[in-house]
Amino acid sequence: MGTVSMVLVSHSLRLAEGVRELAAQMTQGKVKIAVAGGTADGRLGTDATAILSAIEGVRGPEGVLILVDLGSAVLSTQVAMEQLSNSGGRVLLSNAPFVEGAVIAAVEASIDSDLDAVAAAALGAREMEKVT
């Protein structure tokens, strides 16, 4: 059995790379995590073409979970997903929190859980209390 991959979509490439670094350290690099952030000319924003490339770069038979930072990243990701071929594993867009969801999803993926379990774990991050 393989490992679910992930794509982190942010308006800021540096933010996406930082979240990837955190998740990768927590999983000792076992999970493929691609990032798509910013525009082609280096400004803040999202780019459906870059998102599509990131998905295709890590997509395998076990599937891909995508996490996004802000609302318009959802729209760009949906445009990218519409352009995907039918070959390869399923691709899911998560409504999980960006940082916590990415870390928890990566940990779940690192123990070879399936895509639905990884997606559920990411969503579970919404219930985490940071301060009591």
Q: Which residues are catalytic?
A: 11
d(CA 31, CA 107) in angstroms, rounded, equals: 8
Q: Do residues 92 and 115 lie in contact, with contact meaning Cβ atoms separated by under 8 Å?
A: yes
- Strands 64-68 and 33-37 turn out to be unpaired
Query: CA nearest 97: which of 105, 108, 87?
Result: 105
The residues that bridge with 16 in the sheet, in sequence order, are none
